[in-house]
Amino acid sequence: MTNMDFSEQWKSMQQMFLLNFHHSESMRENARRFWENQDKILENMEAFTSNWFKRRHTGTHSAQEAADSMCGTESMVDVVQAYQDWAKGAFERLMADGLACQEQIVAATGALTSPPLSPSEKGIEPIRPETKVTTRVKAT
């Protein structure tokens, strides 16, 4: 039996592990990229929601103006024209929402699918897919 205390054994194990760990730099880069991508996603979501609220405010102001205009007209033609103007703006805002959603999805998936760094050449062999072995049982 050796008289080496546990702290010396622990230090020895740490040194052995750290000396044989070749991927620390690539793991650090992967972690950095992951958090950068998270930040990009949050920035995109913030811009999306900010613009969405701006369009909603524009919509409520437009609806108020249309209501004022429709209530102050003398003819049915003017009422219909005010309504059509409001509806056109509402449709444009709706289309802008759809486009903004599409852009947000593209930005988010682009950030999520950025390829990680490959392990260093000194590192572990790439994982190979398992081959499935099928066995046949003779029916009796």
pLDDT higher at 118 or 51: 51
Arithmetic mean of pLDDT over the chain: 78
pLDDT higher at 76 or 111: 76
pLDDT given at position 120: 47
Kindly report, residue by residue over 29-51, the tens digit of the pLDDT. 899 999 999 999 999 999 989 99
pLDDT beyond 80 at 28: yes
For the whole model, what pTM was predicted? 0.51
pLDDT given at position 139: 63
Give whole-number Cα distances, 75 to 9, 24, 78, 81, 96, in Å: 94, 76, 5, 10, 32
- Tokens 């209501």, residue? 67
Spatial distance between the Cα atoms of 28 and 68, rounded to a whole number of angstroms: 60
The gap between the terminal CA atoms of the chain, to the nearest Å, is 61
Task: Report which of 36, 48, 58 is spatially closest to residue 102, judged by C-alpha positions.
Answer: 48
Spatial distance between the Cα atoms of 129 and 140, rounded to a whole number of angstroms: 34
pLDDT given at position 58: 92
pLDDT beyond 50 at 69: yes
Between helix 76-112 and helix 24-71 the angle, nearest 10°, is 180
Kindly report, residue by residue over 83-114, the tens digit of the pLDDT. 999 999 899 988 988 888 888 788 777 655 55
